[in-house]
């Protein structure tokens, strides 16, 4: 089992579900591949790289996974597809119904054609760092690995300037997840 950290984001509706509902459904789907999941709050964030689009809703999920890294990538891609993601028809860094990135896979460093872990842009993205720091601060001491690094990245001016605001507290998101089961 590996401790994995996934970043989820959405800014486009799917089947009349608003993006925050898509995130709820995606987390439910992740229960099939992750155990002992910890969820951050949901954050509303400004789009990066391609900014002419709606704000995103983002959260981070951390849990235990028995799948290998490539198997995990296939599983999260299948979940994205289930919620309307079509990479062939999208603008790079543009609007999407669901995006799931593997941010961390244990302490492993992976450089493969279709998978780079830790995620290559993770340390420049407030929408990953803020929820990740939230989860790590609330975790047991043995899961706090990297906390000071991630906190220091939040102090970088380029990260501090990014639009990010808490949309839904983790406890409220968890409650909605349990109610809609």
Collapsed DSSP state (helix, strand, coil) of residue 161: coil
Residue showing tokens 């961390």: 104
Please say if 52 is a catalytic residue. Answer: no
Phi, psi of 120 (to 5 degrees): -65, -20
Please say if 160 is a catalytic residue. Answer: no
Which one from 32, 62, 82, 85 is the annotated catalytic residue?
Answer: 85
Please say if 87 is a catalytic residue. Answer: no
Which one from 92, 96, 141, 144 is the annotated catalytic residue?
Answer: 96
Please say if 99 is a catalytic residue. Answer: yes
Which one from 44, 101, 156, 176 is the annotated catalytic residue?
Answer: 101
Residue length of the chain? 181
Collapsed DSSP state (helix, strand, coil) of residue 122: helix
87 class by beta-carbon count within 10 Å (0-12 exposed, 13-18 middle, 19+ buried): exposed
- Residues designated as active site: 85, 96, 99, 101
């Amino acid at each position: 089992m590996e401790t994995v950290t996934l970043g989820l984001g959405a800014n486009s509706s799917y089947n009349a579900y608003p993006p925050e509902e898509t995130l709820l459904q995606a987390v439910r789907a992740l229960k099939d591949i992750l155990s002992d999941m910890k969820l951050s709050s949901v954050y509303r964030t400004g789009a990066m790289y391609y900014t002419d689009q709606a704000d995103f809703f983002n959260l981070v999920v951390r849990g235990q996974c028995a799948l290998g890294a490539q198997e995990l990538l296939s599983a999260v891609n299948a979940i994205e597809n289930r919620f309307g993601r079509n990479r062939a028809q999208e603008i790079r860094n543009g609007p999407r119904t669901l995006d799931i990135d593997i941010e961390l896979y244990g302490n492993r460093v992976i450089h493969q054609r279709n998978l780079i872990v830790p995620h290559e842009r993770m340390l420049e993205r407030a929408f990953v760092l803020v929820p990740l720091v939230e989860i790590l601060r609330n975790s047991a001491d043995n899961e706090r690995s990297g906390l000071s690094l991630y906190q220091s990245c939040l102090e970088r001016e380029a990260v501090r300037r990014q639009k990010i605001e808490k949309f839904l507290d983790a406890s409220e998101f968890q409650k909605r997840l349990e109610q809609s089961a």
